[in-house]
Amino acid sequence: MSEPYILPRKGSIQDPLRIAVLISGGGSGLLALLNYQQSNPCAHITKLIISDNVNAGGLRYGEDFSIPVAAIPLPESKNNVEQRIMHENLIHDILLNSNIELVVLSGYMRILTPNFVCKWKGRLINIHPSLLPKYPGAHAHRDALADGAKITGCTVHLVDEGVDTGKIISQQEVPILEGDTIEKLQERVKKVEHQLYPKVLDIFCSQDS
Ligand code: GRF
C-alpha cells in the first residue's frame, strides 16, 4: 500500500528546516547547496552529511563547512534484504538523533526500500539527472544518448516507494549537443542541477505543510 506524503513544517530564515544530505560520491551537488546556504538567507540549513560510501569525496565538505558527517557502509549480512533494512535503520536512527526534518538525496546511489521511505515520505527529496518520467534509474545520461534524445534535463521530486517515480516538484531542460559523451552531458546537467536544487529547496521549505 502506498503511504501519503507528510510534508515538513514550514521553515523560515529565523528557524530553518534541519536538513541531512545523503551522498555516495564526489558531492558537487552538496557543495553547491552548502555554498548557497552560506551566501543566502534560507529556510533550510544542513546539519548532517551521510554517505553509504566511506571513501566518498563529498565527505570532506563536512570539515570545510563544520558540519558533522556519518559514513555508514552496508553492515555485514548474508541476507540482502536484511542487510538493506539494517543499513537504513542505522541511517534512520542517526537522522532522529540529529533532529533532522528533511532528507535531501544528492547523488545518493542506493535505492531506498519502502521500509525507510514510509518513515520519511514527504520529507525525502531527490534530484535526478533526466526529465522524469524519462530515463529513471542509475544510467539516465547513457539512456538519453542511446535514445537519440535532443533534450534532457533534471528533476527534483519527492521520493516514493518506486524508483524515481515520486511527485515531481520542478524540472529544467538541458540540451543534448552533437558529439556529447556521457561525461560531457553529465557535467552540463550538473551545472543546472546546482542552480535548481537549492532554489527548489527554498520554495519547498518555505511552504505551508
Ligand atoms: C548528480 O547528477 C545527481 O543528479 C545524480 O548523481 C550525480 C551526483 O553528483 N543522482 P555529485 O556526487 O553531486 O557530484
Q: Ligand 1 pocket, 53 CB below 6 A?
A: no
Strand order in the sheet with 168-175: 69-71, 44-51, 17-23, 102-105, 124-128, 151-158, 168-175
**What is the model's pLDDT at position 209?**
74
Tell me, in angstroms, the distance from the centre of ligand 1 to residue 182's CA. 13
Indicate if ligand 1 lies below 6 Å from the C-beta of 84: no
Q: What is the pLDDT of residue 84?
A: 96
CATH topology for 17-206 is Rossmann fold (3.40.50)
CA torsion 67→69→42→112, rounded to 10°?
A: 180
Instruction: Extract the residue ranges of the chain whose pLDDT is less than 50.
Output: none
The three-state secondary structure class of 125 is strand
Q: Whose CA is nearest to atom 6 of ligand 1?
A: 107
Question: The pTM is what?
Answer: 0.97
Active-site residue list: 128
Residue 17: φ, ψ to 5°:
-65, 135
173 beta partners: 153
* 36-92: pLDDT as tens digits: 999 999 999 999 999 999 999 999 999 999 999 999 999 998 899 999 999 999 999
| pLDDT at residue 24 in the model | 98
